Structure 1
Protein backbone atom coordinates (compact mmCIF):
# COMPACT_ATOMS: atom_id res chain seq x y z
CA UNK A 1 0.00 0.00 0.00
CA UNK A 2 2.82 2.42 0.87
CA UNK A 3 4.55 1.60 -2.38
CA UNK A 4 1.39 2.45 -4.36
CA UNK A 5 1.02 5.79 -2.58
CA UNK A 6 4.67 6.61 -3.18
CA UNK A 7 4.38 5.77 -6.89
CA UNK A 8 1.25 7.94 -7.24
CA UNK A 9 2.95 10.84 -5.46
CA UNK A 10 6.02 10.65 -7.68
CA UNK A 11 3.90 10.34 -10.82
CA UNK A 12 1.81 13.39 -9.91
CA UNK A 13 4.91 15.48 -9.19
CA UNK A 14 6.60 14.49 -12.42
CA UNK A 15 3.75 16.12 -14.35
CA UNK A 16 4.46 19.52 -12.79
CA UNK A 17 6.38 21.77 -15.09
CA UNK A 18 7.46 25.36 -15.26
CA UNK A 19 9.31 27.28 -17.92
CA UNK A 20 11.58 30.20 -17.21
CA UNK A 21 10.99 33.28 -19.36
CA UNK A 22 11.91 32.19 -22.88
CA UNK A 23 12.63 34.80 -25.55
CA UNK A 24 10.24 34.44 -28.48
CA UNK A 25 10.77 37.77 -30.21
CA UNK A 26 12.09 41.30 -29.82
CA UNK A 27 11.87 41.93 -26.06
CA UNK A 28 9.00 39.40 -25.94
CA UNK A 29 9.01 36.40 -23.61
CA UNK A 30 6.87 33.34 -22.85
CA UNK A 31 6.52 31.58 -19.49
CA UNK A 32 4.22 28.83 -18.22
CA UNK A 33 3.58 26.96 -15.01
CA UNK A 34 1.51 23.91 -14.06
CA UNK A 35 -0.75 24.15 -11.04
CA UNK A 36 1.03 21.90 -8.54
CA UNK A 37 -1.92 21.95 -6.11
CA UNK A 38 -4.06 19.80 -8.42
CA UNK A 39 -7.81 20.12 -7.97
CA UNK A 40 -7.34 22.34 -4.92
CA UNK A 41 -5.23 24.94 -6.70
CA UNK A 42 -6.28 28.23 -8.22
CA UNK A 43 -4.98 28.72 -11.76
CA UNK A 44 -5.50 32.48 -11.39
CA UNK A 45 -2.93 32.42 -8.59
CA UNK A 46 -0.56 30.55 -10.91
CA UNK A 47 -1.01 33.27 -13.54
CA UNK A 48 -0.38 35.93 -10.90
CA UNK A 49 2.78 34.14 -9.83
CA UNK A 50 3.99 34.09 -13.44
CA UNK A 51 3.33 37.83 -13.74
CA UNK A 52 5.31 38.47 -10.57
CA UNK A 53 8.23 36.42 -11.89
CA UNK A 54 8.01 38.22 -15.24
CA UNK A 55 8.07 41.56 -13.47
CA UNK A 56 11.20 40.57 -11.54
CA UNK A 57 12.80 39.33 -14.76
CA UNK A 58 12.19 42.67 -16.50
CA UNK A 59 13.29 44.71 -13.47
CA UNK A 60 16.58 42.81 -13.42
CA UNK A 61 17.19 44.25 -16.90
CA UNK A 62 16.17 47.78 -15.84
CA UNK A 63 12.96 47.51 -17.87
CA UNK A 64 9.22 47.40 -17.15
CA UNK A 65 6.89 44.40 -17.47
CA UNK A 66 4.01 44.62 -19.95
CA UNK A 67 1.57 41.72 -20.22
CA UNK A 68 0.71 40.76 -23.80
CA UNK A 69 -1.40 37.58 -23.35
CA UNK A 70 -2.55 35.39 -20.50
CA UNK A 71 -4.10 31.93 -20.75
CA UNK A 72 -5.30 29.65 -17.98
CA UNK A 73 -6.26 25.99 -18.23
CA UNK A 74 -8.54 24.52 -15.58
CA UNK A 75 -7.74 21.24 -13.88
CA UNK A 76 -9.73 18.19 -14.98
CA UNK A 77 -9.35 15.45 -12.34
CA UNK A 78 -7.86 12.31 -13.81
CA UNK A 79 -7.18 13.99 -17.16
CA UNK A 80 -4.81 16.94 -16.71
CA UNK A 81 -3.45 19.42 -14.22
CA UNK A 82 -4.41 23.04 -14.71
CA UNK A 83 -1.95 25.82 -15.25
CA UNK A 84 -1.26 29.16 -16.84
CA UNK A 85 0.92 30.74 -19.48
CA UNK A 86 1.75 34.34 -20.26
CA UNK A 87 3.46 36.27 -23.00
CA UNK A 88 5.03 39.54 -21.94
CA UNK A 89 7.41 42.26 -23.05
CA UNK A 90 10.24 43.98 -21.21
CA UNK A 91 10.16 47.60 -22.37
CA UNK A 92 11.45 51.00 -21.28
CA UNK A 93 8.01 52.43 -20.45
CA UNK A 94 5.05 50.06 -20.15
CA UNK A 95 1.64 51.15 -21.37
CA UNK A 96 -1.39 50.09 -19.37
CA UNK A 97 -3.12 47.39 -21.46
CA UNK A 98 -6.45 48.10 -19.78
CA UNK A 99 -6.48 51.89 -19.82
CA UNK A 100 -8.53 53.51 -22.56
CA UNK A 101 -6.72 55.86 -24.99
CA UNK A 102 -8.35 58.85 -23.24
CA UNK A 103 -6.87 57.65 -19.91
CA UNK A 104 -10.35 57.03 -18.53
CA UNK A 105 -11.39 60.67 -18.80
CA UNK A 106 -14.53 61.51 -20.69
CA UNK A 107 -16.49 64.71 -21.00
CA UNK A 108 -20.20 65.23 -21.39
CA UNK A 109 -21.40 68.21 -23.44
Structure 2
Protein backbone atom coordinates (compact mmCIF):
# COMPACT_ATOMS: atom_id res chain seq x y z
CA UNK A 1 0.00 0.00 0.00
CA UNK A 2 2.89 2.38 0.74
CA UNK A 3 4.32 1.78 -2.72
CA UNK A 4 1.27 3.08 -4.62
CA UNK A 5 2.11 6.82 -4.28
CA UNK A 6 5.67 6.13 -5.41
CA UNK A 7 4.47 4.13 -8.42
CA UNK A 8 2.03 6.91 -9.38
CA UNK A 9 4.79 9.52 -9.08
CA UNK A 10 7.23 7.45 -11.15
CA UNK A 11 4.60 6.92 -13.83
CA UNK A 12 3.82 10.64 -14.00
CA UNK A 13 7.47 11.64 -14.29
CA UNK A 14 8.29 9.00 -16.90
CA UNK A 15 5.35 10.16 -19.02
CA UNK A 16 6.90 13.55 -19.75
CA UNK A 17 7.18 14.33 -23.42
CA UNK A 18 10.52 14.45 -25.15
CA UNK A 19 11.27 14.19 -28.84
CA UNK A 20 14.42 13.03 -30.52
CA UNK A 21 15.61 15.31 -33.32
CA UNK A 22 13.07 14.99 -36.15
CA UNK A 23 13.96 16.05 -39.68
CA UNK A 24 11.69 18.87 -40.84
CA UNK A 25 13.60 20.06 -43.91
CA UNK A 26 16.93 20.06 -45.70
CA UNK A 27 19.47 19.54 -42.89
CA UNK A 28 16.94 21.09 -40.47
CA UNK A 29 15.70 19.34 -37.33
CA UNK A 30 13.22 19.92 -34.49
CA UNK A 31 13.49 18.69 -30.89
CA UNK A 32 11.49 19.41 -27.73
CA UNK A 33 11.54 18.43 -24.09
CA UNK A 34 9.18 18.92 -21.15
CA UNK A 35 10.56 20.07 -17.81
CA UNK A 36 10.31 16.97 -15.64
CA UNK A 37 11.02 18.88 -12.42
CA UNK A 38 7.59 20.54 -12.45
CA UNK A 39 7.22 24.01 -11.01
CA UNK A 40 10.63 23.85 -9.34
CA UNK A 41 12.55 23.12 -12.53
CA UNK A 42 14.53 25.57 -14.62
CA UNK A 43 13.21 25.61 -18.19
CA UNK A 44 16.34 27.36 -19.44
CA UNK A 45 18.27 24.27 -18.35
CA UNK A 46 15.91 22.19 -20.51
CA UNK A 47 16.70 24.43 -23.50
CA UNK A 48 20.41 24.05 -22.77
CA UNK A 49 20.07 20.27 -22.66
CA UNK A 50 18.37 20.32 -26.06
CA UNK A 51 21.23 22.35 -27.50
CA UNK A 52 23.78 19.89 -26.10
CA UNK A 53 21.81 16.99 -27.59
CA UNK A 54 21.60 18.81 -30.93
CA UNK A 55 25.37 19.31 -30.92
CA UNK A 56 25.90 15.63 -30.25
CA UNK A 57 23.38 14.68 -32.95
CA UNK A 58 25.17 16.82 -35.57
CA UNK A 59 28.52 15.49 -34.41
CA UNK A 60 27.47 11.94 -35.29
CA UNK A 61 27.21 13.15 -38.92
CA UNK A 62 30.53 15.04 -38.70
CA UNK A 63 28.64 18.32 -39.07
CA UNK A 64 28.32 21.44 -36.95
CA UNK A 65 25.26 22.54 -34.98
CA UNK A 66 23.59 25.82 -35.96
CA UNK A 67 20.64 27.02 -33.86
CA UNK A 68 17.74 28.41 -35.90
CA UNK A 69 15.02 29.02 -33.27
CA UNK A 70 14.54 28.42 -29.57
CA UNK A 71 11.25 28.56 -27.68
CA UNK A 72 10.83 28.27 -23.90
CA UNK A 73 7.49 27.76 -22.15
CA UNK A 74 7.42 28.64 -18.45
CA UNK A 75 5.90 26.39 -15.78
CA UNK A 76 2.39 27.27 -14.59
CA UNK A 77 1.64 25.31 -11.39
CA UNK A 78 -1.52 23.29 -11.70
CA UNK A 79 -1.90 24.13 -15.39
CA UNK A 80 1.11 22.85 -17.35
CA UNK A 81 4.73 21.81 -17.15
CA UNK A 82 7.20 24.11 -18.82
CA UNK A 83 9.56 23.03 -21.51
CA UNK A 84 11.57 24.05 -24.51
CA UNK A 85 11.86 23.38 -28.21
CA UNK A 86 14.51 24.17 -30.77
CA UNK A 87 14.98 23.98 -34.49
CA UNK A 88 18.51 23.61 -35.74
CA UNK A 89 20.59 22.76 -38.76
CA UNK A 90 23.48 20.35 -39.15
CA UNK A 91 25.85 22.09 -41.56
CA UNK A 92 29.40 21.68 -42.83
CA UNK A 93 30.54 25.00 -41.32
CA UNK A 94 28.28 26.89 -38.93
CA UNK A 95 28.01 30.59 -39.79
CA UNK A 96 26.53 31.62 -36.49
CA UNK A 97 26.57 28.91 -33.81
CA UNK A 98 24.45 31.08 -31.49
CA UNK A 99 21.08 32.54 -32.40
CA UNK A 100 21.00 36.32 -32.39
CA UNK A 101 18.74 37.85 -29.71
CA UNK A 102 16.65 39.51 -32.45
CA UNK A 103 16.09 36.15 -34.22
CA UNK A 104 17.79 37.50 -37.32
CA UNK A 105 15.59 40.57 -37.72
CA UNK A 106 17.50 43.82 -38.03
CA UNK A 107 16.07 47.28 -37.68
CA UNK A 108 17.58 50.48 -38.97
CA UNK A 109 17.15 53.55 -36.82
CA UNK A 110 17.22 56.96 -38.42
CA UNK A 111 17.58 60.04 -36.30
Tell me if both proteins adopt one fold, taking TM over 0.5 as the criterion. yes
Q: TM-score w.r.t. structure 1 length?
A: 0.81
Report the count of equivalent residues: 99
Q: TM-score w.r.t. structure 2 length?
A: 0.79
Q: CA RMSD in A?
A: 1.9
- Partner of 2:21: helix, strand, or coil? strand
The CA distance in 1 between the partners of 2:63 and 2:18, in whole Å, is 23
Residues 62-84 of structure 1 show CA distances to partners (whole Å, capped at 9, x for unaligned) of: 00000000000001111110000
* CA separation of 1:86 and 1:95: change in aligned 2, threshold 3 A: same
Residues 38-86 of structure 1 show CA distances to partners (whole Å, capped at 9, x for unaligned) of: 1111100000000000000001100000000000000111111000000
Structure number with higher strand proportion:
1
Q: How does 1:47-58 map to 2 (within 5 A)?
A: 47-58=47-58
Q: Name which one, 1 or 2, has greater alpha-carbon Rg.
A: 1
List alignment gaps of at least 5 residues for structure 2.
101-111
The CA distance in 1 between the partners of 2:7 and 2:60, in whole Å, is 40
List alignment gaps of at least 5 residues for structure 1.
99-109
What is residue 30 of structure 2 aligned with on the other side?
Answer: 30
